[in-house]
Amino acid sequence: MSRLVVVSNRVAPIDESKQTAGGLAVAVLAALKKSGGIWFGWSGTVLDTDASPTEPSLHQVGKLTYATQDLCRRDWDEYYNGFANQTLWPLFHYRPGLLSVSRRTMEGYDRVNAIFATGLAPLLRPDDMVWVHDYHLIPFARNLRDKGLGQRMGFFLHTPFPAPELLVVVPNHRDLVRDLCAYDLVGFHTEVDLRCFANYIRYEAGGEVEPLGPGQGMLIRAFGRQLLARAFPISIDTPALESVARTAARSRHAERLRESLVGRRLIIGVDRLDYSKGLPQRFEAFEQLLVSFPEHCNRVSFLQIAPPTREDVPEYVSIRRALSELAGRINGNFAEFDWVPIRYLNKSFGQRVLAGFYRLAHVGLVTPLRDGMNLVAKEYVACQDPEDPGVLVLSEFAGAAHELPEAMIVNPFDSEGVADALQRALTMPLEERRERHAAMLKTLRANSIGHWRESYVDALTRAPYA
Ligand SMILES: O=P(O)(O)OC[C@H]1O[C@H](O[C@H]2O[C@H](CO)[C@@H](O)[C@H](O)[C@H]2O)[C@H](O)[C@@H](O)[C@@H]1O
Ligand SMILES: O=c1ccn([C@@H]2O[C@H](COP(=O)(O)OP(=O)(O)O)[C@@H](O)[C@H]2O)c(=O)[nH]1
């Protein structure tokens, strides 16, 4: 059997007791634990040197070899903070107004992709399968191919893929799509992302698209290559989480949370503090709930866990400031001497603690303005007590909404609509809660993280598609 070599910018901490707040690392770790192989990526360390090292450090953990490389400050700044998170991230999340474009960061992005490819190349065996993840590393395969490497190479995009009309805003859009075509397999979360990619190939790149039937993806012919593009919705380790959640509700943290509520209902949100997650609109929706349905005052608490992320990017500094002000204003207006409506925490928690919190919460509030998938939505469902489940309120613009139509689907820009959905969720009869939850859990059991990994790897095993 071929060895699996996974490449991603973010690698889960080698020390498993450390927390990682980000779906890619959580999901890839769950997927790789079983198969083993190599996980290559950025170490998380930024060096005050003039150049980045070109060789990775190796750490063996069970069947898995971590191969990680440090980056010097300039490379990290131009590649990660710059082109990846100030150009591609806002563009792929439909926020061209937040985009900044510069030749300097584009060059830094290409330079780091070349450095990483140079680091990985000597570790590769001829029959390895290389699976590259996310927008940081689009040019990675082309860099390996330029070195004469012919291994099967696949790419998976964890964010949305934008409509072509939006993608063309970035000056090197053609290079990016040409580089995607250097892979044998390109995976997306949803059929909508896949369609956007196919439309670029058809209408911007002058390539050909051959649909292969429902759920089977499309053959792409462009830039002198033929490859498969297909949707593979990512998931969670459903049975493991179900089992953790059964006991986590009795953990010390969960007990403390339960006691602090003194019988009040709980709404929970868990998100990196990212502008894509729609947190200001969510806070306003909760405020609207208190205005429209004042019977919830002093009866409902909203716990928002929001660990800071990408703190060197100016837009993330602004959103953090704006949210603190908003939470302060809402709490100032509505709080009683014995009740604070929004418990807003800028810190992260481990998966076990979160499982206990989800289990206690009557409503999971997941309202991103755009999100590739959103694993928190799935985790919330898996952690409910099937006999007395909470209600998931879910943005129609999260990839997860395509698989979980039994959630209460909302438009996150419409704060009044979200407030109405919260009211319905808080007053929903037990029978309806059970029915909605059972349908969602069935979906999550059928498409667990193992299924995602296996279906992607199976498709990559069949490459090349030429
Ligand atoms: O690595 P960071 O810059 O700290 O950011 C964390 C991750 O955020 C994004 O996650 C995405 O992947 C999830 C799993 O597929 C998906 O559910 C979610 O919708 C995405 O936002 C990013 O794409 C990752 O590269 C980051 O590691
Ligand atoms: O304090 C936290 C906050 C989040 N997460 C995890 O980070 C992931 C977030 O993934 P999601 O797909 O929802 O969004 P992303 O952050 O990747 O955009 C989920 O597995 C969460 O359980 C965590 O472990 N601790």
- CA 234 to ligand 1: nearest atom: 15
Judge contact between 191 and 169, C-beta under 8 A: no
Side-chain-side CA neighbours of 318 within 13 Å: the count stands at 5
pLDDT of residue 21: 59
The string of pLDDT tens digits covering residues 245-286 is: 999 988 999 999 999 999 999 999 999 999 999 999 999 999
Residue 296 designated active-site: no
E strand or H helix that includes residue 310 = none
Considering every ligand atom, which ligand is closest to the CA of 80? 1
The residues with which 211 forms a beta bridge, in sequence order, are 218
With a 6 A CB cut-off, is 38 part of the ligand 2 pocket?
no
Neighbouring-strand partners of residue 58? 67
Question: What is the rounded distance in angstroms from the CA atom of residue 77 to the CA atom of residue 80?
Answer: 6
**Residue 94 near residue 160, CB atoms below 8 Å:** yes
What single DSSP character describes residue 55? Answer: S
pLDDT tens digits along 42-95: 999 999 999 999 999 999 999 999 999 999 999 999 999 999 999 999 999 999
Phi/psi at 60 (nearest 5 deg)?
-100, 125
pLDDT value for 31: 78
Q: Closest ligand 2 atom, CA of 377?
A: 13
Task: Reduce the secondary structure of 17-31 to three states and give it as a string.
Answer: CCCCCCHHHHHHHHH
pLDDT of residue 126: 94
Beta strands 37-47 and 64-72 are parallel
Q: Is the dihedral of CA 275, 280, 283, 288 positive or negative?
A: negative
**Mean pLDDT within 100-125:** 98
Q: Give catalytic status of residue 371 as yes or no.
A: yes
Question: Can you give 110-165 as a three-state secondary structure string?
Answer: HHHHHHHHHHHHHHCCCCCEEEEECHHHCCHHHHHHHCCCCCEEEEECCCCCCCHH
Which of 291, 375, 409 is closest to 341 using CA atoms?
291
Give the C-alpha separation, 317 to 308, whole Å: 9
Residue 122 CB burial class (10 angstroms; 0-12, 13-18, ≥19) = exposed
* Residue 38: closest CA among 132, 161, 103: 132
Q: What is the mean pLDDT of residues 227-237?
A: 97
Nearest partner of 312 among 77, 109, 2, 74, judged by Cα: 77
The pLDDT of residue 241 is above 70:
yes
pTM, two decimal places: 0.98
Ligand nearest to the Cα of 10, by number:
1
Nearest alpha carbon to residue 193 among 172, 166, 227, 226: 166
> Which tokens sit at 237?
């380790």
Q: 4-235+449-461 is classed in which CATH architecture?
A: 3-Layer(aba) Sandwich (3.40)
User: Region 426-446: what's the mean pLDDT?
Assistant: 98
The helix-helix angle for 375-382 and 430-446 (nearest 10°) equals 120
Q: For the chain, how far is it from start to end, CA to CA, in angstroms?
A: 22
- ipTM of the shown complex: 0.99
Identify the band that residue 15 occupies on the pLDDT scale cut at 50, 70 and 90.
Answer: confident
The pLDDT confidence band at residue 25, using thresholds 50, 70 and 90, is confident
- Whether 373 contacts 23, CB under 8 Å: yes
Average pLDDT (369-375) is 98
Site of tokens 């998380």: 44
CA distance 393 to 404: 10
Tell me the three state secondary structure of residue 376: helix
Answer yes or no: is pLDDT of 19 > 90.
no
Residues with a CB atom less than 6 Å from ligand 1? 10, 22-25, 27, 134, 158-159, 234, 309-310, 371-375
- Average pLDDT value for the chain: 96
Angle made by CA atoms 452, 26, 238, in degrees to the nearest 5 = 55
DSSP string, 186-198: EEESSHHHHHHHH
Residue nearest to atom 10 of ligand 2 (CA): 23
Q: Which ligand is nearest to the CA of 309?
A: 1
Place of tokens 């992260």: 348
Question: Which residue type, as a one-letter code, is found at position 86?
Answer: Q
Task: Specify the pLDDT at position 170.
Answer: 97
List the catalytic residue out of 75, 179, 274, 371: 371
pLDDT at 22: 79
Other C-beta atoms lying within 10 Å of the C-beta of residue 280: 17
CB atoms < 10 A from the CB of 340, how many? Answer: 15
pLDDT one-digit tens code per residue, 292-332: 999 999 999 999 999 999 999 999 999 999 999 999 999 99
CA count, 13 A, side-chain hemisphere, 71 = 23
Q: Is the pLDDT of residue 17 over 80?
A: no
Tokens 């060197």 found at: 312
The mean pLDDT value for 7-21 works out to 81
Taking the CA of residue 26 as reference, the ligand 2 atom at the shortest distance is 20
pLDDT greater than 90 at residue 14: no
Q: Given 3.40.50.920, 3.30.950.10, 3.40.50.2000, 3.30.300.20, which CATH number is that of 239-445?
A: 3.40.50.2000
CATH 3.40.50.2000 residue ranges of the chain are 4-235+449-461, 239-445
Q: How confident is the model at residue 1 (pLDDT cuts 50, 70, 90)?
A: confident
What secondary structure letter does DSSP report for 202? H
